[in-house]
Amino acid sequence: MECKYLIIGNSAGGIAAAEAIREVDRTGELIMVSEESSRAYSRALIPYYLAGEIELGKVYYRSEDFYEENDIHAICKKAVTVDFDNKEAEMEDGQRIRYGKLLLATGSTPFIPPMEGLCYHDGEFDKDGVFTFTSLGDAIAIKRRVESGSVEKAVVLGGGRIGLMAAEALMRLGSDVTVIKRSERLLPGVFDETASRMVKRHLKESGLRMLTGHTIKAVVGKRSAECVVLDDGTEIGCDLLIIAAGVRPRVELVRGTSVKVNRGIMVDRRMRTSVEDVYACGDCAEVYDFVHDDFRLTPLWATAYAGGRVAGFNMCGVEKEYQWGTNMNSMHFFGLTVIAAGISAEEDGYEVLKEVEEEKKIYMRIVLREGRVAGMILVNKIDRAGLFMGLMRTGIDVSPFKEELLSADFGLICLPEAVRGAIMG
Amino acid sequence: MRRVCCRAEVCIGCQLCVVWCQVEHSRSRDIIKAFLYEKERPIPRVRVEERGPVSFALQCRHCEEPDCVFACISGALYKKDGVVVHDASKCVGCWSCVLACPYGAIIRDETHGKAWKCDLCAGREEPICVEKCPNEALVVEVGG
């Protein structure tokens, strides 16, 4: 088989690239390879599905006829090797696909911390009742188990976004949930102490049990996980264990090849890897971060999409630079909305504007660096988040009007006319 | 690309665009019924910013490269024929678009957990805010 464009991966980055390619080149042969499913779904939606907020059909990211409409040949196979010299990828069944341009959008795999009594190999645990929570398959399997009535007590390892969303979904399904998390601080690196304290209190009031400062030492049970043992010897019985301890870039296709890898696949601002005609985006890549002005892992749906789009354009000869992303999250925990972006947790060396109403769980924290917005945390009052994000992106000096940023009616109208004109076009 | 633009120099901040936007997106599309009898009043898709003598209405800019579409985790937001479309049935209220939109043009409906934005009054020849703006501050701009 041969094609002009080969995309390995069928999630945010892959789809974005395919859409960009089709905006420029309607007819060049385009193949998308994915081991998982032939129809793209949104990983970010799996907690909503597990919680019963949306039905399965709504998990899909694009319409059923997306591939046909865009003349995309979708192949549901696992790519096992790529011969970068001969520009050829090999599938698990031996099928070979020659490409002109290749996009690696292989995503990430869940990180499983070592625990006694638990083995993880090829995406499978050696005990029943233990799951990761990054794929639709995971969500379906967990839901099936919960709905079969065999889950009274659940333990979630990891108190990050994914862990907390899994915990909330399980509680909604009627399980008794305990979250085990290593750090005392919630979302360290993203939340400061105030945000962490506020959200923790909200989680507690919502009935979530969270044990901070702990790890799981061992998982006990013959065939199924029946109990976890913490580092201090505490035993917690469970019928279900979810491991949500973060993700790692999926880079096995390029290990030992000429494609340079640091923590993720290294790309430039045009999403090109160190090998000609090979691009990468999304969770598997280290992409540009405009706040830090460096390249780093940013495993988020939005940055994967934006990066994939830039990759797609460059793959068909339209030069674009990626300058879109930084760590940016819109989250909600038991109804509490929280937004964080950029440099949000740091204090030293930055000017920090704050408004805190601890009781009402209202918090606005804007971090300025040399007079420019470098990051933010917003709890409950999130409506102006986009404007702040816009100020971050444009890098406008906000010092002349910084007092306005936290005012209740802050809007584009508060900006000097010239700045406003530049933003509004 | 099509979008509604506001000529700030003639906007009088009367908020009629807000009122008519609600009417147009109400069940009855009748101003009296919508404001008096309908159980739920729709969320307006336009905001008026006002400070001292200056005011302007602001709605979705239907961006060339829409940040909200990039950020949308559910596929509810997408671009079609130059218009940024929002399929509310797919929206899960994650507010990723609220974080992404540099204009603050996406409005949260917290009751239903849905985002709303200007749809250019799909089905109408001219958006209602443009038609009803008493000082002709709102105009449709066609470009790119």
Alpha-carbon span A16 to A324, nearest angstrom: 14
Model confidence over A408-420: pLDDT tens digits? 889 999 998 888 8
Model confidence over A47-68: pLDDT tens digits? 999 999 999 999 999 999 999 9
The verdict on B75 touching A (C-beta cutoff 8 Å) is: yes
| CATH at residue B80 | 3.30.70.20
Q: Which domain holds residue B72?
A: 63-117
Looking at residue A424, its pLDDT comes to 76
CB A338 within 8 A of CB A43: no
Looking at residue A37, its pLDDT comes to 72
**Chain B neighbors of A306, CB-CB under 8 A:** 70
* B144 CB burial (10 A radius; 0-12, 13-18, 19+): exposed
**Domain boundaries in chain A?**
2-108+249-315, 112-245, 335-424
* Domain covering A2-108+249-315 in this structure, CATH number: 3.50.50.60
Alpha-carbon span A196 to A358, nearest angstrom: 11
Average pLDDT over residues A207-217: 97
Alpha-carbon span A112 to A233, nearest angstrom: 20
pLDDT confidence bin for B144, thresholds 50/70/90: low
The two structure tokens encoding residue A50: 């597990």
Same-domain status, B27 and B76: no
Same-domain status, B123 and B55: yes
> Which residues touch B53 (CB under 8 Å, ≥6 apart)?
none
Same-domain status, B97 and B125: no
The residue type of A227 is C
Give me the residue from B50, B67, B94 closest to A413, CB to CB. B50
Direct distance between the N- and C-terminal alpha carbons of chain A, in angstroms, rounded to an integer: 46
Average pLDDT over residues A183-206: 97
Q: What is the DSSP letter of B117?
A: -
Looking at residue A347, its pLDDT comes to 85
pLDDT confidence bin for B49, thresholds 50/70/90: very high
> Which residues touch A361 (CB under 8 Å, ≥6 apart)?
A198, A201, A202, A336, A379, A380
Same-domain status, B69 and B112: yes
The reply to whether A2-108+249-315 and A335-424 are identical in fold is no
CB A12 within 8 A of CB A38: no
Instruction: Please tell me the distance in Å from A273's CA to the nearest CA on chain B.
Output: 22
Same-domain status, B6 and B53: yes
> Which residues touch B89 (CB under 8 Å, ≥6 apart)?
A58, B76
Q: How many CB atoms lie within 10 A of CB A279?
A: 29
Q: Reply yes or no on whether the pLDDT at B4 is more than 90.
A: yes
ipTM for the whole complex: 0.96
Residue A199's closest CA among A161, A157, A158, A154?
A161
Q: Which residue of A22, A24, A42 is the best one to mutate when testing the B interface, meaning the one whose CB has the most B CBs within 10 A?
A: A42
Total domains in the fold of chain B: 2
The two structure tokens encoding residue A420: 């406003």
* Domain covering A112-245 in this structure, CATH number: 3.50.50.60
The verdict on A403 touching B (C-beta cutoff 8 Å) is: no
CA atoms within 13 A on the CB side of A71: 12
Same-domain status, B43 and B88: no
Fold of A335-424: Enolase-like; domain 1 (3.30.390)
Alpha-carbon span A304 to A306, nearest angstrom: 6
The verdict on A53 touching B (C-beta cutoff 8 Å) is: yes
Same-domain status, B128 and B144: yes
Same-domain status, B103 and B136: no
